[in-house]
């Protein structure tokens, strides 16, 4: 069965720089489709601004409420989506190209990618929400300013800083979850976490040894 593609909503609340689709902002997205959907081109930052939603993602059932941040990693399937009548969210859609200039391939960040799929949601604190709101408003302001010199570079710089801030927020969120679960379940998760880090370190070593010749 072919899974429908999840794509940015087109309309007056959609922002991009010219015809470039590597970074797209939806200020209001409204309801999500109920059936299975998948994005193979974009990763997405969702921030719920009203209402609530439930969905299946990467083998787990997630509840998303107002003030929650959810990071969707490309190629994962969302299914059995249920939203309240007042559900809405703001979204930032980004391609691999948009992430190219961000330091996301260090050893720590590569391990983050594995953990982000397991722990993709975090409830934002008041300070975190205020911080992301400021970044979001600045990003939208610059994306609307078509006459701005070096607009692409400015937008990419703002997005890079925002993406790293979100990575730090989500990392703190799943570290708290792991700590709480370890306290209840002994060292099982610590062992799994260590194995995940060892695999990430090994992968980086293989890439370094191949001198970049083996792209996959």
pLDDT the model gives residue 10: 73
Q: What is the pLDDT of residues 81-126, one digit of tens each?
A: 999 999 999 999 998 777 766 655 454 555 566 677 778 899 999 9
> Is there a contact between 85 and 51 (Cβ–Cβ < 8 Å)?
yes
User: What is the distance, to the nearest Å, from the Cα of residue 18 to the centroid of all Cα atoms in its chain?
Assistant: 23
Side-chain-side CA neighbours of 139 within 13 Å: the count stands at 26
pTM, whole model, 2 decimals? Answer: 0.76
What is the distance between the alpha carbons of residues 97 and 76, in angstroms, rounded to a whole number?
A: 19
pLDDT the model gives residue 201: 61
Count of Cβ atoms closer than 10 Å to residue 23 Cβ:
23
Higher pLDDT, 197 or 102: 102
pLDDT the model gives residue 118: 78
Q: What is the pLDDT of residues 131-150, one digit of tens each?
A: 999 999 999 999 888 767 78
DSSP output for 142-154:
HHH-TT-TTHHHH
Q: What is the pLDDT of residues 147-161, one digit of tens each?
A: 677 888 888 889 989
pLDDT the model gives residue 102: 66
Q: What is the pLDDT of residues 8-56, one digit of tens each?
A: 877 777 888 776 788 999 888 766 777 899 998 898 999 999 999 999 9
pLDDT the model gives residue 107: 46
Over the chain, what is the mean pLDDT?
79
CA distances from residue 84 to 50, 54, 161 in whole angstroms, order as listed: 9, 9, 32
Comparing CA positions, the residue from 94, 81, 80, 83 lying closest to residue 158 is: 94
């Amino acid at each position: 069965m072919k899974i429908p593609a999840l794509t940015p909503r087109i309309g007056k609340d959609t922002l991009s720089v010219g015809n470039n689709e590597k970074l797209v902002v939806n200020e209001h997205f409204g309801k999500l489709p109920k059936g299975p959907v998948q994005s193979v081109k974009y990763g997405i930052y969702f921030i719920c601004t009203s209402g609530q939603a439930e969905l299946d993602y990467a083998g787990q059932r997630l509840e998303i409420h107002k003030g929650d941040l959810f990071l969707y990693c490309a190629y994962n399937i969302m299914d059995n989506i249920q939203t309240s009548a007042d559900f809405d969210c703001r979204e930032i859609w980004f391609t691999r190209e948009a992430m190219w200039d961000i330091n996301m391939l260090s050893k720590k960040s590569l391990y983050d990618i594995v953990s982000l799929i397991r722990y993709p949601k975090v409830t934002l604190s008041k300070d975190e929400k205020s911080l992301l709101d400021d970044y979001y408003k600045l990003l939208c302001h610059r994306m609307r300013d078509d006459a701005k010199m070096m607009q692409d570079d400015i937008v990419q710089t703002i997005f890079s800083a925002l993406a790293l801030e979100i990575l730090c927020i989500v990392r703190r969120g799943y570290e708290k979850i792991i700590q709480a679960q370890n306290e209840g379940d002994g060292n099982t998760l610590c062992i799994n976490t260590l194995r995940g880090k060892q695999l990430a370190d090994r992968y980086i070593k293989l890439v370094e040894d191949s001198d970049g010749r083996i792209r996959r």
